[in-house]
Amino acid sequence: MFTKVLVAEDYEIANQGIIKILNDKIGIHNIQEAKYCDDAYLKFRKAYNDKEAFELLITDLSFREDHKIQTRASGIDLIKDIRSVQPDIKVIVYSQENRPDKINMLFEKLDINGYVCKGQHAIKELIACVNGVYQNNTVRPPELTNNTAINTMIHLDDLDMMLLEELSQGFTKKEIRTKLKKQKISPNSESAIDKRVSKLFDDFKAKNTTHLVAIVKDLGLL
């Protein structure tokens, strides 16, 4: 089993919870914790330089903003930076994120080894994940395999996201059209935008713009 693990998670209680599981249930005792990305990187770097490198990184994705100025804003940056130094370190992400496309992105772009959703069954999943990753498997969360939900079906491109963002900020379609023209993004005609938004209505089964934004906010896409 892994003997040396780094845990990066800003929620202290969750941080302690992970350590307790690793301790009690998996028997890993050489654990260091960090509440900030930069702090995590420093601890990683020191261990690496001392030839006592970590074998596994367990990290959250989002770190709440704080008074401390961070060069790394998210766990994604942290993973990239650490992997650029020590490419073979195993990485497990432990996060609230449950959007399949986002989680898949982590596996595809960052080549992470495992993912555990914060939730009711996190202990069992974490244990299974650490064991699986130790055996060189890629461990995706059960939600991902079962859940072929809306998010995966509906493909939102950059323009869709921009439209949703602008609409949620209260801009009229005329204003949005003007912005698009200024940025020389096409399509930028009134009816093209109308069509795009109407398609979003269909996709999300929304009655109007307000409803659409409410749905998308609830889904956490915005």
Residues in contact with its own copies by the rule CB under 8 A: 10-21, 35, 64, 66, 94, 118-124, 126, 167-172, 206-214, 217-218, 222
Contact yes or no for 129/116 (Cβ under 8 A): yes
Query: What element of type H or E holds 75?
Result: helix 75-85
Closest CA to 53 of 78, 23, 83: 83
Q: Which of 29, 124, 174, 205 binds DNA (CB under 7 A)?
A: 174
User: In the complex, what is the shortest distance from the CB of residue 195 to its own copies, in angstroms, rounded to a whole number?
Assistant: 18
Tell me the closest approach of the beta carbon of residue 21 to its own copies, in angstroms: 6
Side-chain half-sphere CA neighbours of 106 within 13 A: 30
The pair phi, psi for residue 85, each rounded to 5°, is: -95, -45
Q: How far is the CB of 88 from its own copies (least distance, A)?
A: 27
The C-alpha angle with vertex 86 and arms to 106 and 43, in degrees rounded to 5, equals 95
| Alpha-carbon span 147 to 211, nearest angstrom | 24
Residue 87 binds which entry of its own copies, DNA, none, with Cβ cut-offs from 5 to 8 Å by kind?
A: none
List the x/- string, 184-213, binding to DNA by CB under 7 A.
Answer: --xxxxxxx-xxxxx--x-----xxxx---
How near is the Cβ of 191 to DNA at its closest, in Å? Answer: 3
Q: Least distance (Å) from DNA to the CB of residue 88?
A: 39
Nearer to its own copies, 25 or 109 (CB): 25
Q: Which of 160, 173, 170, 116 is nearest to 140 (CA)?
A: 116
DSSP label at 26?
A: I
# chain residues binding DNA, by CB under 7 A: 20
- 80/124 with CB nearer its own copies: 124
Which residues have a Cβ under 8 Å from the Cβ of 100 and sit 6 or more positions away? 143, 144, 147, 148, 149, 151, 152
191 binds, among its own copies, DNA, none (CB under 5 to 8 A by kind): DNA
Minimum CB–partner distance for residue 86 and its own copies (Å): 26
93 in Cβ contact with 114 (< 8 Å): yes
Residue 199 or 211 with smaller CB distance to its own copies: 211
Q: Which residues bind DNA (CB under 7 A)?
A: 172-174, 186-192, 194-198, 201, 207-210
